[in-house]
């Protein structure tokens, strides 16, 4: 198990190295300059680029950057020369992560709850209602949901504020926009797997033993039914924790996703690279944790990894 974890960490580091390298050169292939905003004279742009070392051979710049990266130095933003990339991540990631975490928890709890309801309800209307609702919600892209929620609950009804993330009320609409899709998928996954688990022999046996319905459901069936869900929750949490640009932009949330897109628009090379490497790290770590949790939950896989 430890050997497996170490191996995964090592491949993670190699992936990050490749990611940083590819991004470094791709970013430089995009036409434009961090110091050109349309009205700046070419003479000035060239002088400033020279000053920032952007006129040196690309390979030298790459080696300098990688050298600093190994030491954990992500450099300074070109747009805000008084701010390091690490500081920008430090101020934007907590915003994105707090929203992402709330959306993740909400979608997992509500999704699982609806899934259970769908699997065990005796009323056909409830089962089909959840199935149809899930299908519908899974079909709404989050930007459409965000605009609709904004118009209805903020502009028309005035229930929730429209911009920023200053009070708990500010979280509600962006959280809903982010959780709709994962919630729908989780409820479908849970519902389907739970329904098939409930028909298996061990459930029949438990019932024959005289266990209560709730006990069978929560201690036996749900644990098994949840493994495929967990495999889905991993990537989704990586997505939610690195921020959705569209939702952040519509609700004016000062998060990582918004910062990422504006860094590309501004050609803020160090910031683009820093954010890419950081997001890559989050994705790799979250996937690793998901795999480890799955292994821990599934005895068959646990045995396979622990070397028999």
Partner 1 sequence: MKRRRLTAALLAAVVLCAAALSGCAKGEKSAGGEKEITVAVNSETGTLDPAGAIALTYLSYSVTALDELLTYDENGDIEYRAAESYEVNEDSTVWTFHLREDALWSDGTPVTSEDFLNTIRRALDPASGSGYAVYLFPIENAEEIYNQEVSMDTLGVDTPDDHTLVFRLEAPCVYFLDLLRLPVYTPSCAKYADSVDSGWDKDPATSLANGPFMLAEYVPDQYFVLEKNESYWNKDAVRLDRITYRFFDDTQAMAAAYETGEVDVAVSLPSAVMDLYEGRDDLLVTDQIATRYIYFNLNVEPFDDVRVREAFNLAIDREELCRIVGADTEPTYNLVAKYMIDKNTGMRFVDEAEQPFEENVERARELLAEAGYPDGQGFPELTYNYPTLEMDSDTAQVIKEQLKENLNIDIELKAQELQANYSSRYAGDFDLCRMNWTADFADPYTYLSMLLSNSTYNCSGIQDEEYDAIVEASGSEQDPAVRSELLHQAEQRAVGEQFYIIPLYAMKSINLVNPEITGLKQIPASGALEYRYADIG
Using CB under 8 A as the criterion, which residues of the chain lie in contact with partner 1 when the complex forms? Answer: 30-33, 35-45, 47-48, 50-52, 76, 78-83, 88, 91-92, 147, 150-151, 154-155, 158-164, 166-170, 172, 249-252, 254, 258-259, 262, 265-267
Q: How far is the CB of 54 from partner 1 (least distance, A)?
A: 12
Q: How far is the CB of 92 from partner 1 (least distance, A)?
A: 7
Q: How far is the CB of 116 from partner 1 (least distance, A)?
A: 16
What is the 3 state secondary structure string of the chain?
A: CHHHHHHHHHHHHHHHHHHHHHHHHHHHHCCCCCCCCCCCCHHHHHHHHHHCCCCCCHHHHHHHHHHHHHCCCCCECCCCCCCEHHHHHHHHHHHHHHHHHHHHHHHHHHHHHHHHHHHHCCCHHHHHHHHHHHHHHHCCCHHHHHHHHHHHHHHHCCCCCCCCCCCHHHHHHHHHHHHHHHHHHHHHHHHHHHHHHHCCHHHHHHHHHCCCHHHHHHHHHHHHHHHHHHHHHHHHHHHHHHCCHHHHHHCCCCCHHHHHHHHHHCCCHHHHHHHHHHHHHHHHHHHHHHHHHHHHHCHHHHHHHCCC
Q: Which is nearer to partner 1, 87 or 298 (CB)?
A: 87
Q: How far is the CB of 230 from partner 1 (least distance, A)?
A: 28
Q: Which is nearer to partner 1, 168 or 299 (CB)?
A: 168
Q: How far is the CB of 172 from partner 1 (least distance, A)?
A: 6
């Amino acid at each position: 198990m430890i050997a497996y974890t170490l191996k995964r960490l090592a491949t993670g580091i190699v992936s990050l190295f490749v990611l940083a390298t590819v991004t470094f050169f791709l970013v430089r292939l995009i036409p434009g300059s961090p110091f050109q905003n349309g009205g700046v004279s070419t003479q000035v742009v060239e002088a400033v680029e020279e000053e920032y070392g952007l006129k040196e051979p690309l390979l030298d710049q790459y080696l300098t950057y990688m050298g600093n990266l190994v030491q954990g130095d992500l450099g300074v933003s070109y747009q805000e020369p008084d701010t390091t990339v690490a500081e920008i991540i430090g101020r934007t990631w907590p915003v994105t992560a707090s929203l992402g975490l709330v959306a993740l928890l909400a979608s997992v709890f509500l999704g699982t709850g609806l899934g259970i309801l769908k699997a065990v309800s005796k009323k056909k209307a409830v089962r089909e209602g959840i199935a149809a609702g899930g299908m519908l919600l899974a079909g709404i892209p989050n930007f459409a949901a965000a605009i609709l929620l904004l118009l209805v609950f903020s502009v028309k009804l005035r229930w929730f504020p429209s911009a920023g993330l200053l009070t708990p009320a500010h979280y509600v609409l962006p959280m809903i926009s982010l959780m709709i899709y994962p919630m729908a998928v989780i409820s479908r996954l849970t519902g389907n797997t739970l329904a098939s688990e409930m028909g298996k022999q061990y459930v029949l046996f438990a019932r024959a033993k005289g266990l209560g319905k709730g006990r069978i459901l929560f201690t036996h069936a749900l644990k098994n039914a949840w493994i495929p869900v967990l495999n889905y929750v991993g990537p989704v949490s990586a997505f939610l924790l690195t921020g959705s640009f569209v939702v952040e932009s519509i609700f004016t949330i000062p998060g990582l996703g918004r910062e990422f897109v504006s860094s590309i628009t501004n050609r803020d090379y160090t910031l683009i690279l820093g954010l890419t490497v950081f997001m890559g790290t989050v994705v790799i770590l979250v996937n690793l944790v998901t795999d480890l949790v799955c292994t821990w939950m599934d005895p068959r896989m646990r045995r396979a990894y622990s070397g028999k």
